[in-house]
Structure 1
Amino acid sequence: MKFVRIVLKVLLGLVLFIIFFLAISLAPVDETPYREMPYYAQTKQHLTQLPISPAGRQSLRAGWAKVNITPPYTTPTGGYGERLGKHWHILSDSIFVRAIMLDNGGTKVAVVGLDLVITPPTVAEALKKRLPEVGLRWENLYMGAIHSHNSVGGWAPRLVGQLIAGKYDEKIVNRITDCVLEAIRKAQSTMAPVQIGFGETDATDLIDNRLSSSGPTGPLDGKIRLLELRKNSGESALLCTFAGHPTLFDGDNSNYLSRDYPGSLVDRLEKKTTDFAVFLAGSVGSTAPVPRGKTDFQEIRNYAGDLAVRIERVAPTIQTHPDSTLSILTLPLGLREPNPRVVGNWRVRPWLFYALYGDYPSDLKALRIGQTVLLGTPCDFSGELAAELNPIAAKKGLNLMVTSFDGGYIGYITPDRYYNRQAYEVRDMNWFGPYNGDYFKEMMTGLLEKID
């Protein structure tokens, strides 16, 4: 009997502990409309107070460079899913950081593309401290990533970060940061006057809406967009965005380090179309690629080839011209308390979310180069929301390129009408609660108006 009493006391204590832990760890989802929340008023005020870039004093000058960041040792694979931090052991293709430096005599901007699944928040925080080494601040930097799920990991501490990118290694953060700064320095050393031009072509048939499995969906943004920079020498650079999710390498192929289809595309463009190419993942938050091929390698080659053929048709038609317009805006983004749902309409409390993931500031970015505006987001941004922003930019006579992964990372941002669907994008990867689709769209529209 004494043993039974001990067991019952232990079980009772365990039950009481579980109840206590759940009470301090879980809370109902906060469904207050975003315009009634303090973070909304704060972000609106920040938007109003953003300084306008000074007028250009000369035509645009630009330079570009890339630096190989492939570690000389194996690392965890950064890319969610079945990879679970497994190390790659076969180098399918090298990993780079690519930089384009821009200057109009009044404003300097570096556009940086990383061959990683996202721009690691740890790298963003390191760059905020070290950018003065190259004469820049965080407000002068526009970042993005190719979003390959088979790239270098190890750059994220804490549990959630390690599920995404494997065991944390500070050496990797330092290596990526050092290479970003080196690429910017090299780009600065190659600067010369440039003319700029814009082109686009449709590839909607190469993407599917992943949310369609949970119900009806709207149209996606399926355009390939191209910004060309051309020096008087004839040397050219091409900045390319597209919304296809780079997941042609299956999760069980974590043994390979690869840039997926964006790497194959950039390599082909640099052989046939331009001297230098940068790919930035577009509005990938709702998309899946539509591949063809019997193996992952065939799918990557064929998908990149399909995109390249379309680009090669439109690239010769791009008309370049001198322009001095260059401005950049960085909007600190207020957010609702973390609201990742675990059971029904119950969510994890902020203290537990931050303990598991970390608390990283996030921004929206707007970069205007001539008549083209890039809008950068700290998330997997929905292709449906990007499609809704395109006509807003067109009314202002602006070309729009929406990109994901600008430095922070807050999960997926999708249309609010899907919030209660049982889908990965809106259930597992919505970390900051309801109404963020409309909130992001409103703030990104505000940036378009401010930078016009």
Structure 2
Amino acid sequence: MKFLRILAKVLLGLILFLVLFVAVSIAPVDDTPYQKMPYYTQTKQRLTQLTLPPPAKTALKAGWGKVNITPAYTTPTGGYGERLGKHWRILSDSIFARAIVLDNGSTKVAVVGLDLVITPPTVTEALKKRLPEVGMTWENVYMGAIHSHNSIGGWAPKLVGQLIAGKYDEKIVTLITDGVLNAIRKAQGNMAPVQIGVGQADASDHIYNRISSSGPTGPLDGQIHLLTLKKNTGESALLCTFAGHPTLFDGNNGDYLSRDYPGSLVDRLEKKSASFALFLAGTVGSTGPQSRGKTDFQEIRNYAGDLALRIERTVPQIKTKPDSTLALLTLPLGLREPHPRVIGNWRVRPWLFYAIYGDYPSDLKALRIGQTVMLGTPCDFSGEFVADFKPLAAKKNINLMITSFDGGYIGYVTPDKYYDRQTYETRDMNWFGPYNGAYFEEMMMGLVEKLTE
């Protein structure tokens, strides 16, 4: 009898603990319109206060460089899903940090691309401290990643980060940070006047909308966006963005360290189309690749090869001209409280989210190079938004390129009308609540307006 009384007390204690834990851990979704939230007012004020750099003092100069950051030892694989941080065993292809540095005498900017699944927030925080080593600050840098799901992991210390990228290893953060700084140094070592050209090639047949499994969806951005920089010597750099999700390696095929199709693509471009190529993942939120091939390696070769053919046909038609316009704006981004949903319309409270993910600042970036405006987002940003930007781009007579993974990471941002759909992109990976689609669009369009005043 005494044993039963003790057992009953223990069970009652457990029940009370669970009830208390649930009470302090979850809360209903806050669906207050974003325009009425303090974070909106604060970000809007920051946007208003941003100032453009002074006019160019010299012709635009550019240099470029890359650094191999492949670890000397096997690491966790950074790429979500079934990989779950398992170590890669086989080096399929090397991992790089790439940089293009631009300077017009009054403004200096580095465009950095990492052969990783995202730009790790831990690397961003390290760069903020160390960029003065190369004469820059975070406000001088536009970041992006190729989004390969079979690249280096080990760069995220919290529980969610370890599910994405495996066990944390501070040496990996240092390796990546050193690679970025050395790529910038290399680029600064070969600066020369350049002319600018832009082009596009349609590859809509190479992507599909993963959200379409849950109902009707809108069109994606199926364009390969190209920006070319050409020196008087004939050397050239090609900046390329595309919205195809680099997931041609199956989720259960985590044995290989690989750049997926973007790596194969830039290798070919550097042989046939440019002296140097840098790929940044575009509006990859909710896009899947339409692949062809019997094996992952065949799919990568075929996918990259077909994209390369379309680029190779486009590049000779690109006309370059001098243009010294250069400006980079960094907008610190306020956000709604974390809203990962767990059951129905109930979400995790902020303290628990930050405990298992971390609390990292996020920015929107806007870079103008000549008549091209690049918008960088801290997320998997949906290609369905691109259609909304086209009227503004036409009005301002600019070439618009939108990229993901600019240094922070807040999950997926997809159209608000899909918020209640039961899909991975709209529920599992929507971490900061409703209305982010409209909020991001308003702030990004505000940055375009600011850059083109």
Partner of 1:311: 311
Q: Superposition pairs for residues 280-299 of structure 1, below 5 Å?
A: 280-299=280-299
* Structure 1 match to 2:41: 41
1:26–1:346 contact (8 Å) kept in structure 2: yes
Unaligned runs of 5+ in 2: none
Alignment of 1:130-145 (within 5 A): 130-145=130-145
Percent sequence identity is: 79
* Post-superposition CA distance 1:347-389 (Å, at most 9, x none): 0000000000000000000000000000000000001012322
Q: CA deviation at 1:5?
A: 1.2
Structure-2 residue corresponding to 1:274: 274
Residue 242 (structure 2) aligns with: 242
Which residue is 2:413 aligned to?
413
Alignment partner of 1:366 is 2:366: yes
Q: Distance between the aligned counterparts of 1:445 and 1:126, measured in 2?
A: 29
**Residue in structure 2 matched with residue 337 of structure 1 by the alignment:** 337
- Distance in 2 (CA, whole Å) between partners of 1:166 and 1:99 is 26
User: Using the alignment, how far apart are the partners of 1:2 and 1:68 within structure 2?
Assistant: 68
Q: 2: CA distance between counterparts of 1:270 and 1:387?
A: 31
Q: Secondary structure at the match of 2:389?
A: helix
For 1:391 and 1:229, locate their aligned partners in 2 and report how far apart those are by CA, in whole Å: 26
Q: Which amino acid aligns with 1:292?
A: R
Please give the residue correspondences for 1:48-447 in structure 2 after superposition, counting only pairs within 5 Å.
48-447=48-447
Shift in Å, 1:286: 1.6
Contact 1:286 1:384 survives alignment (8 Å):
no
Separation in 1 of the partners of 2:252 and 2:387? Answer: 33
Greater shift, 5-14 or 113-122, is seen at 5-14
**Separation in structure 1 between the aligned mates of residue 412 and residue 391 of structure 2, nearest angstrom:** 23
For residue 252 of structure 2, give the secondary structure of its aligned residue in structure 1. helix
**Distance in 2 separating the partners of 1:86 and 1:391:** 45
In 2, Cα distance between equivalents of 1:389 and 1:247: 27
Task: Give the equivalent residue in structure 2 for 1:27.
Answer: 27
Q: Distance in 2 between matches of 1:326 and 1:265?
A: 27
| Aligned counterparts of 1:124 and 1:53: Cα–Cα separation in 2 | 23
Q: 1:392: Cα distance to partner?
A: 1.7
Q: Which residue of 2 aligns with 1:11?
A: 11
1:71 maps to amino acid = P
Q: CA deviation at 1:2?
A: 1.2
Runs (4 or more) in structure 1 with deviation over 2 Å come to none
Distance in structure 1 (CA, Å) of the matches to 2:88 and 2:388:
39
SS in 2 for 1:97: strand
- CA separation in 2, counterparts of 1:88 and 1:293? 23
Alignment: residue pair count = 452
Task: Quote how far apart the aligned CAs of 1:29 are.
Answer: 0.4
Letter in 1 for 2:325: T
CA distance, structure 2, for counterparts of residue 151 and residue 390 of structure 1: 33
**Aligned equivalents of 2:395, 2:357: Cα separation in 1:** 40
Cα distance between partner residues in 1 of 2:256 and 2:384 = 32
Residue 391 of structure 1 and its aligned partner are, at CA, apart by: 2.8
**C-alpha deviations, 1:387-440, integer Å up to 9, x for none?**
322332122100000000000000000000000000000110000000000000
CA distance in 1, matches of 2:59, 2:438: 37
Q: Could you list the per-position Cα deviations for residues 51-82 of structure 1 after superposition, in whole angstroms to 9, with x for gaps in the alignment? A: 21110011100000000000000000000000
Report the secondary structure of 1:252's partner residue: coil
Give the conservation status (yes or no) of the 8 Å contact 1:88–1:257. Answer: yes
Amino acid at match of 1:205: D
Amino acid paired to 2:9: K
Structure 1 stretches lacking a partner, 5+ long: none
State the distance in 2 between where 1:369 and 1:72 align. Answer: 37
Q: TM-score, normalised by structure 1?
A: 1.00
Distance 1:26 1:277 in 2: 46
Following TM superposition, by how much is the alpha carbon of 1:138 offset from its aligned partner in structure 2, in angstroms? 0.3
Alignment-mate amino acid for residue 102 of structure 1: L
Q: Quote how far apart the aligned CAs of 1:6 are.
A: 1.2
Q: In angstroms, what is the RMSD of aligned CA positions?
A: 0.5
Amino acid at match of 1:340: P
TM-score by length of 2: 0.99
- SS of the residue corresponding to residue 19 of structure 2 reads helix
